[in-house]
Amino acid sequence: MPRIRSLNILLTSEGKDYLAELYGNVIEAVSAGAVSTQIKNVDLSGDFASGSVEAKRIATAKSKAYGTARTAGKGDALKAQPVVVAKDTDKEIVEEIEQKDTIMYGVDNLLARRSSNHVLSMISELDSAFFTEAVAQGTQFTPEAADLADQVEESIVDLESTKDDFVDGIPRNMITVVCGPKAYSAVRQYLQKNTRHNMATGQEDEFEEYNGCRTFKSVHLPAGIDFITLVDGSIAQPVYSSAYDAEKVPLSDAYAVELFYYYGTKAVSDNLIKYVGTTTSGTGGEGTGGTGTGGTGTTP
């Protein structure tokens, strides 16, 4: 039996409870479905709702001869590189639903269908912004191999060999590869032909890692990019969102269902991001290099 029989109930306490439940399902689905939410930097300080948060890179500690601090009268100061992530992107999903449109599906079913579409819209928005930042601030890597699967491995080796003030090599379990469909297919075919791949039964087109690195497929990479190899946490993307709300559209039999969310995207460790491919917009660097919370209690 439907819980919501008419759109005007959305303005009551019962309807607001239903919208809050629906909103919770949307945020949970975005968190699980967006690639960016699984690899972004969440070690942030500050209140994003107020306008910005800060991420910090802490330099690697260096060993010195015993007695160095005693002789100097002090230890080494922490070397930190702060990165401010501003809430600079405001988005909304506002849809007007006519009462007559609920006759075929019912209010509950129609809203459930629309909320599923809102999930896809938010995932597309957040992932696209995340990978656009990766290419804009990362380093273009030029592999020697012709085969895409071999190119992925080359990029992993290049990244894991990084050494600077902040990292002394990168363990493969901290590296993620995000492939466009073509590169993902090439790696999948390589695994099928050459290894005992870890594809689950019934999901022969999927795999969770490649050569020790987590691997995802995404259609939201910038045009022309084959894949991106990056260290988890090298990009921050805090998100602040407001729960679903509804209001009557004046002089009509329609009700507006509204979802507002705000986010910022910023590379924290730009030299820990590599991409292979050529963008049509000309963003991104060249050569080789080394290296949220908020809203109404939710952060995708």
- Separation of alpha carbons 37 and 22, rounded Å: 20
* Residue closest to 17 by CA, chosen among 248, 259, 244: 244
Share of the chain above pLDDT 70, in %: 86
pLDDT score, position 81: 81
- Separation of alpha carbons 120 and 19, rounded Å: 18
Q: CB atoms < 10 A from the CB of 104, how many?
A: 8
Tens of pLDDT, residues 203-247: 556 788 899 999 999 999 999 999 999 999 999 999 999 999 999
Tens of pLDDT, residues 169-211: 999 999 999 999 999 999 999 888 876 655 544 455 678 889 9
pLDDT of 108 > 50? The answer is yes
pLDDT score, position 283: 46
- Separation of alpha carbons 242 and 262, rounded Å: 9
Q: CB atoms < 10 A from the CB of 102, how many?
A: 20
| Distance linking the first and last C-alpha atoms of the chain | 31
Q: Is residue 85 within 8 Å of 236, Cβ to Cβ?
A: yes
pLDDT score, position 287: 41
**Lowest mean per-residue pLDDT among 56-65, 221-230, 261-270, 272-281:** 56-65
C-alpha triplet 118, 31, 128: angle, nearest 5°:
65
Q: Which residue has the higher pLDDT, 162 or 205?
A: 162
Query: pLDDT averaged over the chain?
Result: 87
Provide the pLDDT confidence category of residue 79 given band limits of 50, 70 and 90. low
* Arithmetic mean of pLDDT, 39-68: 87
139, 198, 267 from 283: Cα distances, Å: 10, 35, 14
